[in-house]
């Protein structure tokens, strides 16, 4: 006895094994493919006794392909029916077994024409639904043909206009069920390359930079880098807040790069009647007007930080907001001020430390390029000859900075760390700060907004990279006073049990340097309770901490109840985690962009390029002229610190890799301490990323974090302390390093 039954949506055949009683409730059977099964009677659609099963099933499959479904639908009854009923209507009275089976197969395989109502029972689809389904099927057939046509064109090196128009969308926000993506994915698979490589080869994307940048923007700025709406700013209310603040008698000045717009810190020195000096650190105070949950707060919290990269930046706050709070020269500006007394020998009286919110006269915005070369230890110790602006103030600040530095070194030594040394690094050490300038073929600077346009073609752009050594007097002045501010305010928040976002560096491992909401030691700086407070226009963590400080200054001991964030507040914990993750992502993109432009710099000079590199460790070398690290496996056994002449023969801007060949190992720099080479492995972590623009020493702090030395920066959180010349914790602002 032979049977047909349904399994997995298909009609299959089987024959009974041994005697088969017609009235049995099940049979031992063997399928047409030789598999033994137990076939229940209720599963059987049709049974018959004669004929070869395999032959009948094969003929039935062929007949099923030839069934005219439109005719079958027309001749089927309106009510539910058994498949055998319509066999005579379609095939005639002399219907054969294979035809009946074919009809079952046809009905089962065409759900748009017939709906299955049970085992072997069907009902024809309503006419309107059938027409809609047929239209959909026809559309899919056309799409399949079009998709195959695109695949063929892509594989032959031709870019279909329909694909070209959607190239950006297909790379960064694809609909993987769409025919455009399916065509591109299949073509790239057949060619053995990625979709990004395919688009670069065909000219759909003109630059690998656009690919790197597009991926970053899709994830963090899906709605664009601009601000969606104008800020509704109540200037009257803000003016009233400012007018209610007392006016300080001090005169402050800032030190920033020439292009800096977010001036959020300034310093002042005031001679007191007893011959001592009152040092003031003044920080922009947007926390007075920007309140948690407000429109501007939502904008800042969505971005968490300003993003820096070669050629531009994406600000955390709109320019109209920055302009309101930035400490621009020429008038009184609201500020959160920290004061401490210093004697003529540079000794600091910590008992005089106090903070207040006030209006401060900003006398001068000094620019780094104007003073860095002339502000030296010798010039500050000598008489004021009029060539150094704010000479006396800088000299006093320099005395205090040395005292603060000495105190930190004593703590570091007690903790078992090496003391740091004041002054420039060894002249043989590699430069650590770089300025990237990107220009077009006419040598005009590329506007930052051009970098975000699609398509982006940088094939004719040029990049120049200049370097600067750290360790200047202005470096130490700003670094130490900003560390002092962050430590003092962090300690104030910790001592009064006010939740804040602290910067911790303790222990070893991937999370050695981290953001957290509980006070902790910062081993690299040699201090306790270090909290970022000095950059509220550029970092959301600083704005959060400023809110807490304002609450303390206004409410005193009641601040624990009145502050925006109270004890065990999960909101600030979430903000801390979001900030850490976002800040990391921003700075990892900056590292990618910097490496891209370093490789472009090599291409500008022509390949093969031959030049000097310095071996760091684990076969990683750094090109001496630019901040580019590359892996050279054949140097695995070469001593660290060796100068190696290499030849770079190929560069892949998409994978950010280069083919490197060792020409000659020139020797090791025995005159340079091993520590100097260790520090070359310490690049700024995602939390302290080095800026790619001109250094603004008004924004230095100490602490760099060791990153695994692969050129792709795979492990950005491993940390290690090091000397002040190389130890400064950096944060970028407008082509500048800004103090944390």
* For residue 384, pLDDT beyond 70: yes
Domain-ending residue, one of 170, 205, 240:
205
Task: Please state the rounded mean pLDDT for residues 197-213.
Answer: 94
Give Rg (Cα) of the chain: 37
**C-alpha dist (Å) from residue 209 to 195, 310, 655:** 15, 11, 11
621 neighbors 654 (Cβ within 8 angstroms): no
Domain end, chosen from 103, 125, 147, is at: 125
Say if 217 falls within a structural domain.
Answer: no
Q: Hey, how many other C-beta atoms are within 10 angstroms of the C-beta on 104?
A: 23
Judged against a pLDDT cut of 90, whether residue 238 lies above it is answered with: no
| Contact between 722 and 526 (Cβ < 8 Å) | no
397 is written with which tokens? 């600040």
Residues 166 and 51 in one domain: no
- Check: CB of residue 725 under 8 Å from CB of residue 471: yes
Residues 117 and 134 in one domain: no
Taking Cα atoms as reference points, which of 165, 695, 709, 192 lies closest to residue 479? 695
CB of 287 closer than 8 Å to CB of 547:
yes
Query: What per-residue confidence (pLDDT) applies to 195?
Result: 95
- Do residues 17 and 68 make contact, with C-beta atoms less than 8 angstroms apart? no
Question: Read out DSSP for 88-113?
Answer: HHHH-SS--HHHHHHHHHHHHH-TTT
Higher pLDDT, 143 or 684: 143
What region, left, alpha or beta, does residue 606 occupy, with left being phi > 0 and alpha being psi -120 to 50 degrees? left
Tell whether the model's pLDDT for residue 233 goes beyond 90: no
Could you say which of 125, 152, 181 is where a domain stops? 125
Distance CA 337, CA 281 (A): 6
* Average pLDDT score over the chain: 86
Both tokens assigned to 320? 């109209």
pLDDT in tens, 308-340: 999 889 999 999 899 999 999 999 999 999 999
| 597 and 456 part of one domain | yes
Residue 682 · residue 470 · CB < 8 Å: no
Q: Is 232 helix (H, G, I), strand (E, B) or coil?
A: coil
**Whether the Cβ atoms of residue 678 and residue 722 lie closer than 8 Å to each other:** yes
Give the Cα separation of 705 and 512 in Å (integer).
9
- In the numeric block, which tokens belong to residue 573? 């914990």
What average pLDDT does this structure show over 146-158? 95
Please tell me whether residue 709 adopts helix, strand or coil conformation: coil
Interatomic CA distance for residues 615 and 722, integer angstroms: 19
- Using the 8-state DSSP alphabet, how is residue 545 labeled? H
With respect to residue 685, please indicate whether it lies within any of the assigned structural domains: yes
With cut-offs at 50, 70 and 90, classify the pLDDT of residue 678. very low
For residue 525, tell me if it sits in a domain.
no
**Closest to 712 in 3D by CA, of 629, 601, 624, 652:** 629
State mean pLDDT over 200-221. 93
Shared domain for 6 and 145, answered yes or no, is no
Q: Is 206 helix (H, G, I), strand (E, B) or coil?
A: coil
In a 3-state reduction of DSSP, which class is residue 630?
strand
**Structure token digits, residue 631:** 């892996």
Could you tell me if residue 271 is inside a domain? no
Residue 63: cis peptide before it, omega within 30 degrees of 0: no
Note the pLDDT tens digit of each residue in 500-538.
999 999 877 777 889 999 998 998 899 999 999 999 999
Same domain? For 596 and 733 the reply is yes
Same domain for 705 and 641: yes
What is the C-alpha separation between 609 and 660, in angstroms, rounded?
Answer: 10
Note the pLDDT of residue 256. 87
Do 133 and 27 belong to one domain? no
Three-state SS string over 349-398 comes to EEEEEEEEEEEEEEEEEEEHHHHCCCCCHHHHHCCCCCCCCCHHHHHHHH
Q: How far apart are CA 338 and CA 360, in angstroms?
A: 12
Give the 3-state secondary structure of residue 285.
coil
User: Does some domain include residue 273?
Assistant: no
Based on the fold, state whether residues 75 and 170 are members of the same structural domain. Answer: no
Residue whose pair of structure tokens reads 């299955």 in the numeric block: 116
> What average pLDDT does range 717-735 have in this prediction?
31
What's the domain range around 155?
129-205
3-state secondary structure of 307: strand
Distances (CA, A) of 621 to 172, 602, 640: 33, 15, 9
Residue whose entry in the numeric block shows the structure tokens 């501010």: 485
Quote the CA–CA distance of 306 and 261 in Å, as a whole number. 12
For residue 355, what are the β-bridge partners?
338
Task: Please tell me what DSSP assigns to residue 639.
Answer: P
- Distance, in Å, from the CA atom of 3 to the CA atom of 31, rounded to the nearest integer, reads 9
Asked if residue 722 is part of any domain, the answer here is: yes
Integer Cα distance of 472 and 380 in angstroms: 12
Size (the chain), residues = 740
Say whether the peptide bond before residue 455 is cis (omega within 30 degrees of 0): yes
DSSP conformational letter for 305: B
Beta bridge partners of 16: 29
554 domain residue, yes or no: no
What distances in angstroms separate CA 659 from CA 201, 237, 599, 610, 612, one per listed residue? 20, 61, 11, 12, 15
Q: Which residues, in sequence order, are CB contacts of 592 under 8 Å at separation 6+?
A: 212, 216, 656
Lowest mean pLDDT segment, chosen from 153-167, 194-208, 355-369, 668-682: 668-682
Tell me how far CA of residue 680 lies from CA of 211, 428, 723, in angstroms. 29, 12, 12
- Indicate the number of domains in the chain: 3
C-alpha torsion angle, residues 46, 47, 52, 56 (rounded to 10): -10
Residue 430 has pLDDT above 80, yes or no: yes
Contact 702, 728 (CB under 8 A): yes
Confidence of residue 680 (pLDDT cuts 50, 70, 90): very low
pLDDT band at 669 (very low <50, low <70, confident <90, very high): low
Let me know: does 402 contact 410? Beta carbons within 8 Å: no
pLDDT over 50 (residue 681): no
The label of the residue with tokens 């690919």 reads 211
Place of tokens 């070398």: 621
Q: Is 465 helix (H, G, I), strand (E, B) or coil?
A: strand
Question: pLDDT digits over 556-605, tens only?
Answer: 989 988 899 998 889 999 999 999 999 999 999 999 999 999 999 999 99
**Are 151 and 191 contained in the same domain?**
yes
pLDDT at 398: 96
* pLDDT at residue 697 is higher than 60: no
Helix axes 208-220, 570-604, angle to 10 degrees: 170
Q: How far apart are CA 434 and CA 426, in angstroms?
A: 18
Instruction: Identify the residue whose tokens are 């807490």.
Output: 548
Q: Which structure tokens are listed for 201?
A: 């080869």
For residues 486 and 660, the answer to whether their CB atoms sit within 8 Å is no
Short-list 691, 692, 709, CA closest to 700: 691
At 271 the pLDDT is 96
Neighbours of 184 (CB within 10 A): 26
User: Could you tell me if 634 and 679 lie in one domain?
Assistant: yes
- Determine, yes or no, domain membership for 262: no
Q: Are residues 41 and 171 in the same domain?
A: no
Nearest to 732 by CA among 583, 543, 627, 581: 583
Question: Are residues 175 and 40 part of one domain?
Answer: no
Which helix H or strand E contains 148, and what residues bound it? helix 127-155
Segment 105-125 shows an average pLDDT of 90
Strand-pairing partners, residue 554, are: none
Confidence of residue 668 (pLDDT cuts 50, 70, 90): low
DSSP annotation of 539: B
Name the nearest CA neighbour of 268 among 286, 283, 256.
Answer: 283
Distance between CA 572 and CA 585 in Å, rounded?
Answer: 20
């Amino acid at each position: 006895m032979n049977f047909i039954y349904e399994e997995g949506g298909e009609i299959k055949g089987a024959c009974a094994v041994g005697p088969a009683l017609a009235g049995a409730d099940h049979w031992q059977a063997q399928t047409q493919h030789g598999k033994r099964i137990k076939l229940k009677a209720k599963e059987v659609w049709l049974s018959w006794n004669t004929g070869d099963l395999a032959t009948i099933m094969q003929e039935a499959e062929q007949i099923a392909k030839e069934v005219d479904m439109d005719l079958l639908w027309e001749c089927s009854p309106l009510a539910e029916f058994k498949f055998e009923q319509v066999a005579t209507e379609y095939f005639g009275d002399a219907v054969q077994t294979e035809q009946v089976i074919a009809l079952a197969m046809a009905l089962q395989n065409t759900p748009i024409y017939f709906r299955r109502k049970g085992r072997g029972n069907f009902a024809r689809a309503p006419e309107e639904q059938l027409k809609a389904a047929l239209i959909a099927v026809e559309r899919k057939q056309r799409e399949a043909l079009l998709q195959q046509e695109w695949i063929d064109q892509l594989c032959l090196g031709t870019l279909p206009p329909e694909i070209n128009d959607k190239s950006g969308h297909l790379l960064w926000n694809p609909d993987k069920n769409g025919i455009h993506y399916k065509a591109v994915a299949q073509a790239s698979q057949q060619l053995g390359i990625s979709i990004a490589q395919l688009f670069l080869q065909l000219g759909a994307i003109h630059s690998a930079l656009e690919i790197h940048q597009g991926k970053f923007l899709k994830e963090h700025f899906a709605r664009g880098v601009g601000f969606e709406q104008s800020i509704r700013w109540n200037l009257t209310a803000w003016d009233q807040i400012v007018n209610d603040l007392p006016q300080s008698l001090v005169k402050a000045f800032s030190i920033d790069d020439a292009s800096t717009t977010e001036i959020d810190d300034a310093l002042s020195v005031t001679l007191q009647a007893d011959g001592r000096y009152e040092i003031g650190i003044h920080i922009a105070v947007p926390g007075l007007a920007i309140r948690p949950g407000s429109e501007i707060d939502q904008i800042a919290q969505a971005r968490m930080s300003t993003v820096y990269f070669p050629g531009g930046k994406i600000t955390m706050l709109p320019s109209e907001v920055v302009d309101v709070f930035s400490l621009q020269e020429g008038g009184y500006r609201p500020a959160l001020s920290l004061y401490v007394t210093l004697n003529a020998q540079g000794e600091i009286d910590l008992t005089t430390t106090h903070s207040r919110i006030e209006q401060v006269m900003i006398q001068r915005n000094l620019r780094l390029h104007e003073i860095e070369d002339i502000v030296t230890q010798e010039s500050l110790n000598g008489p004021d000859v009029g060539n150094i602006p704010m000479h006396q103030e800088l000299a006093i600040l320099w005395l205090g900075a040395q005292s603060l530095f000495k105190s930190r070194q004593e703590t570091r030594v007690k903790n078992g760390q090496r003391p740091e040394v004041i002054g420039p690094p060894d002249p043989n050490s590699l430069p650590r700060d770089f300025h990237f300038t990107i220009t077009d073929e006419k040598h005009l600077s590329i506007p930052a907004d051009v970098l975000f346009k699609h398509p982006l073609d940088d094939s004719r752009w040029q990049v120049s990279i200049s370097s600067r050594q750290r360790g200047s007097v202005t470096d130490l002045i700003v670094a130490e006073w900003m560390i002092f501010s962050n430590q003092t305010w962090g300690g104030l928040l910790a001592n009064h049990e006010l939740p804040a976002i602290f910067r911790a560096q303790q222990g070893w491992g991937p999370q050695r340097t981290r953001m957290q909401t509980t006070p902790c030691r910062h081993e690299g700086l040699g201090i306790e309770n270090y909290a970022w407070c000095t950059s509220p226009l550029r970092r959301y963590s600083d704005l959060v901490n400023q809110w807490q400080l304002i609450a303390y200054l206004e409410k005193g001991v009641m601040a624990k109840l009145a502050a925006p964030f109270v004890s065990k507040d999960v909101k600030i914990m979430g903000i801390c985690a979001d900030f850490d993750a976002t800040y990391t992502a921003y700075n990892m993109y900056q590292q990618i962009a910097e490496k891209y432009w370093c490789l472009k710099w090599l291409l500008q000079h022509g390949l093969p390029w031959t030049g000097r590199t310095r071996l760091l460790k684990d076969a990683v070398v750094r090109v001496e002229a630019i901040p580019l690290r590359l892996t050279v496996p054949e140097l695995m056994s070469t001593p660290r610190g060796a100068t190696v002449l290499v030849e770079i023969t190929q560069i892949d801007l998409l994978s950010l890799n280069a083919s490197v060949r060792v020409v000659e190992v020139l020797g090791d720099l025995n005159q340079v301490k091993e520590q100097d080479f260790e520090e070359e492995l310490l690049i700024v972590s995602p939390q302290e990323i080095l800026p790619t623009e001109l250094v603004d020493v008004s924004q230095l702090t100490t602490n760099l974090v060791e990153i695994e030395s692969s050129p792709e920066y795979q492990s950005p959180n491993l940390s290690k302390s090091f000397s002040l010349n190389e130890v400064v914790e950096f944060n970028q602002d407008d082509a500048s390093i800004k103090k944390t």
